[in-house]
């Protein structure tokens, strides 16, 4: 069973706002009491919070739906309802959040304790204390709370490591990680031993510690989804320095230069910016007989200005020098900035403003019309239909929006039924 999970979809539902109250003061010695219905409380938000102690999205395999509580309804004597507490969902640092419905990036959690509101709680409805006027000093009118939001979101984990180990399977990445850090990755002499990224902390004598990630091995076509494909490549985005390991074993049946160029090609196909980052070429397995001759031939095919550090992880030869040099290169490397506004998902295409409402004939029933539209549906959800004042106010709002004239134009006559969401009324 693959225990590392770096891509998962969940559903979040924020809390509905509390309803406003219709109430009047009936107290001794208060002659003109007037309305005293309080406002409803705000519904609970759904908030994602980055936690550097997590390194996988495995927890979301068992729980995929998260709900927040609604706000408390308004009370008598002008008392407001309590707002609901937000629901915090911990995710690993390095998690990108996408809207499943449109694919847009909602936010990027790259720092510990960073928070992102993914579903806002509904506002509380106003109580009748707000609707008193000189003409109507005792209004039986209040608003319902605003419905909460429901969103389907995708969480995508991209590891945040200072240094990333790249290279074909079985070139020695896991072995180097185990030697350089206290990490204990699974190691064996066959391809794709590493099915999930491993992180380790390199601690140097000079105090310049850094995080290193052993990432799953690449093969040709990975940028198109072949092999572990994108599961690997997404994690390369956030490493500041690349250690490119190349196998020097003459018995491997592979050509070092072809392997090196193939990996560079896949990285470039995925994201050209990755190729601009500092790279240290690390020929491995120098303890194998014949590897030195192969290394000499490999060097002849490289430009003179490349950064190359041969090692033998088994004998620990060159490992300490490589880590110290990596620390120096890392100190000079530019930090990677994660600006949500520059993501590919952001576009500036003009989109015409959505119509306030549409009217269509009900195909199932004669003399029946259906009114749709976010604005009018929200208006209905916020209207308290338990009191005549609320119903009359709703009717006035429909007329001011032009719905009455639009219904007449669509052929509606007195006695026809009109439906908005689950509410049906007779048109007069």
pLDDT in tens, the chain (428 residues): 233 456 789 999 999 999 999 998 877 776 667 888 999 999 999 999 999 877 778 788 788 999 999 999 999 888 999 999 999 999 988 888 999 998 888 988 988 899 999 999 999 999 999 998 888 888 888 999 999 999 999 998 876 678 888 888 777 777 887 787 754 434 334 343 334 566 677 888 877 778 887 776 554 444 444 434 445 566 677 788 999 999 998 888 889 999 899 888 888 887 788 888 899 999 998 888 999 999 999 999 988 888 999 988 788 888 889 989 999 998 888 776 654 443 343 343 444 556 778 888 888 888 899 999 988 998 999 998 888 888 889 999 999 999 999 999 988 888 889 999 989 988 88
CA distances from 403 to 92, 415, 422 (A): 48, 16, 17
DSSP type of residue 272: G
For residue 60, the SS3 value is helix
Cα 101 from Cα 267, distance rounded (Å): 29
DSSP type of residue 153: E
Q: Is the dihedral of CA 179, 181, 182, 188 positive or negative?
A: negative
Cα 423 from Cα 418, distance rounded (Å): 8
Cα 134 from Cα 292, distance rounded (Å): 96
pLDDT of residue 270: 76
Q: Where are the beta strands (DSSP E) in 287-404?
A: 358-361, 368-372
Closest CA to 162 of 108, 209, 96, 95: 209
CB neighbours of residue 13 within 10 Å: 20
């Amino acid at each position: 069973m693959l225990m590392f999970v770096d891509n998962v979809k969940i559903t979040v539902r924020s809390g509905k706002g509390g309803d406003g109250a219709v109430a009047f003061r009936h107290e001794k010695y208060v002659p003109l009491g007037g309305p005293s219905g309080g406002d409803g409380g705000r519904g609970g938000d759904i908030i994602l919070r980055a936690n550097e102690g997590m390194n996988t999205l495995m927890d979301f395999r068992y729980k995929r739906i998260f709900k927040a509580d609604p706000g408390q309804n308004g009370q008598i004597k002008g008392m407001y309802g309590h707002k609901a507490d937000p629901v915090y969902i911990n995710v690993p640092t390095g998690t990108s959040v996408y809207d499943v419905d449109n694919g847009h990036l909602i936010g990027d959690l790259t720092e510990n304790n960073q928070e992102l509101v993914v579903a806002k709680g509904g506002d509380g409805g106003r109580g009748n204390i707000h609707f008193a006027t000189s003409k109507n000093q005792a209004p039986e009118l209040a608003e319902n709370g605003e419905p909460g939001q429901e969103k389907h979101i995708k969480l995508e984990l991209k590891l945040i490591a200072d240094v990333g180990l790249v290279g074909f399977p079985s070139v020695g990445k896991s072995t180097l990680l185990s030697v350089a850090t206290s990490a204990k990755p699974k190691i064996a002499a066959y391809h794709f031993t590493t099915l999930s990224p491993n992180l380790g902390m390199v601690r140097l004598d000079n105090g310049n510690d850094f995080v290193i990630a052993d990432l799953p091995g690449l093969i040709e076509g990975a940028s198109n989804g072949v092999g572990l494909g994108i599961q690997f490549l997404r994690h390369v985005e956030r490493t500041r320095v690349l250690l490119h390991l190349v196998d020097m074993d003459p018995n491997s049946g592979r050509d070092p230069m072809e392997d090196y160029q193939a990996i560079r090609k896949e990285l470039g196909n995925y994201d050209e910016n990755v190729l601009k980052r500092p790279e240290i070429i690390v020929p491995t397995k120098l303890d194998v007989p014949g590897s030195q001759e192969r290394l000499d031939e490999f060097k002849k095919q490289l430009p003179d200005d490349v950064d190359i550090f041969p090692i033998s992880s088994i004998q620990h030869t060159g490992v300490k020098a490589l880590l110290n040099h990596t620390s120096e290169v890392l100190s000079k490397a530019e930090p990677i900035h994660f600006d949500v506004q520059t993501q590919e998902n952001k576009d500036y295409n003009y989109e015409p403003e959505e119509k306030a409402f549409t009217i269509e004939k009900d195909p199932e029933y004669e003399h029946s019309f259906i009114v749709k539209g976010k604005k009018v549906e929200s208006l209905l959800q916020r209207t308290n239909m338990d009191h005549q004042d609320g119903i009359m106010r709703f009717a006035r709002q429909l007329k001011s929006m032009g719905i009455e004239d639009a219904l007449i134009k669509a052929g509606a006559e007195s006695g026809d039924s009109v439906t908005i969401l689950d509410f049906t009324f007779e048109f007069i």
